Amino acid sequence: MKILSKITLFAVIMTIFSSTNVISNEIQIPSQNRDKLDLTIYNNDLSLVTDSRNIKIDTGINNIAFEDISSEILPETAIIKIKNASILEQNFDYQLITYKNLLNKNIGKTVITITTNPSNGKNIKEEATLISANPNIILQFKDRIEANFSGRIAFTNISNELTTKPTLFVKLDNLTNNSKNMKLSYLSNGISWKTNYVADLDEINSILDLNSWISITNHSGTDFNNANIQLVAGNINKTRSTSRQPELMMMDGVAEAGFSANRMMVKSASSSISQENFADYHIYTIPRRIDIKDKQNKQISLFTKKDIKFDKKYIITSPLGSYYRSNGDFEKRNPEIEITFKNNINSLNAPLPKGVVRFYKNNKFIGENNITNTPINEEIKLTIGKAFDIFVDGKITDSKKISKNIFENSYEITFNNSKNSPAKIEFTQNVYGTNWEILKENITSKKEKSNTIKWELEIPAKTKKKLEYQIRVTN
């Protein structure tokens, strides 16, 4: 059934002005009254909003509409602070004026239907009762009931339960007649951040430049203008409990203390983003106030580090088994390309939030991978693709059963490097058994783990190299 999702503008405007949606003596606090806005944004689609606004109210009972808040607010986490006043009630009204909500609120009520006369193009208006809107619209006219109405629907009234913007309604008892500052803190979904890295490789000198960008995404249904921003890196735990006020109160104190300290750091340091440890997390503070519009993705530079030493090698794990009469061979397996660099005092020397690292060489994209939250003094290993000009062949040349629980396998692995430059290859063989030993090998290996053998080889350009080894396994 075709339905035009527009409503008659005149009817809506007139209804808004004549509606009883505005509570008697209600005081509206729009975002223009804002004194300060702090956002603490987490990785997992969660943020702590601390919104302070100025207001002048009389003594006694006051009804206040705190407007322009996130439509993704978790209402049970809202905390209001105002001096010399007691909060009596608070209600979050998040039923916005939408076509669907207008239909639902007008069930059983009279609406105006509009169709077009095909012969002259004029509108035909009729009154009807809206019987149902879910899943289909059903209308009762004076002489009929229609379930497949193809025209437009105009509404003559708007429920006072619908609002034009997300609003928190507060009833409070004010003890002093003067200007006040009202602070609302709440947790909200719909705001998140992530990190993107761009690595530019110089393979001749084995160095890379790393640029890091923070991306903040806002799908909260409201704009956050002139906001102080802190970003928390780390995985905080969230429960499904609806009682979260103690958690919010703790976080509210953290946010206030953090912003105060970080502003001092920025003034004495530079205009770049500052980082500090807090509890078991890392906090990044943007040193200037920024605007984050609804439905916006904002990118901000985190850091740029140049001339970071890196190592490139090709890694492959043998698919050959270690049991008696295991699978016999494999052909033309391309190894993965692995880039390794250290996060230490000689390179990055900074904690790295999790994100995607995209690698470029000579202005060409060559691969990407994810990094986890990485502290200082950790090594970063990222595979970015598979080599085209390097492949590996392998086979089991002999398999012997020495006794009931002992057997031996002999292996031959051939590495082919068709590149114009040498290639470092790391080859791994997994061995499964109670005990095992290498009886012979033509290239020295090292025991990586209890069931892993690893060989590191350098294959000259345009050449092949063979690795031969024999393993005895005891079960």
Domain containing 448 — which CATH number? 2.60.40
**Any idea of the CA torsion for 181, 27, 10, 222, to the nearest 10 degrees?**
20
Is pLDDT above 80 for 239? no
Is pLDDT above 50 for 103? yes
d(CA 353, CA 337): 23
Tell me the helices (H) and strands (E) count for the chain, helix number first: 3, 32
Segment 258-287 mean pLDDT = 63
Beta strands in 98-242 (DSSP E): 110-116, 123-132, 138-140, 145-146, 152-154, 167-174, 179-188, 191-202, 207-218, 224-233
* Residue 431 covered by a domain: yes
d(CA 431, CA 109): 76
d(CA 317, CA 320): 9
* Residue 430 covered by a domain: yes
Q: Is the dihedral of CA 343, 344, 347, 353 positive or negative?
A: positive
pLDDT of residue 194: 94
Is pLDDT above 60 for 228? yes
Residue 253's CB: how many other CB atoms inside 10 A?
Answer: 11
Last residue of a domain, one of 84, 119, 154: 154
How many domains in the chain?
A: 2
The percentage of residues in the chain with a pLDDT greater than 70, rounded to a whole number, is 86
End-to-end CA distance of the chain: 70
Segment 146-174 mean pLDDT = 82
* Residue 405 covered by a domain: yes
pLDDT-wise least confident of 271-275, 383-387, 398-402, 412-416 = 271-275
pLDDT-wise least confident of 86-90, 197-201, 384-388 = 86-90
pLDDT digits 0-9 by tens, 258-267? 333 333 233 3
* Residue 337 covered by a domain: yes
Q: Over the chain, what is the mean pLDDT?
A: 84
pLDDT of residue 323: 77
77 secondary structure, DSSP code = G
* Residue 231 covered by a domain: no
* Residue 146 covered by a domain: yes
d(CA 75, CA 71): 10
H helices within 240-322, ranges in order? 245-268
Residue 95 pLDDT class (50, 70, 90 cuts) = low
Which residue range is the domain that position 464 belongs to? 318-350+377-474
Last residue of a domain, one of 137, 154, 171: 154
* Residue 408 covered by a domain: yes
Residue 241 pLDDT class (50, 70, 90 cuts) = very low
Q: What are the respective helix, strand and coil percentages of the chain, to the nearest 5? A: 10, 55, 35
Cβ proximity of 312 and 382 under 8 Å: no
* Residue 383 covered by a domain: yes
Residue 247 pLDDT class (50, 70, 90 cuts) = very low
Beta strands in 234-377 (DSSP E): 274-278, 281-285, 290-292, 296-317, 329-333, 336-343, 355-361, 364-371
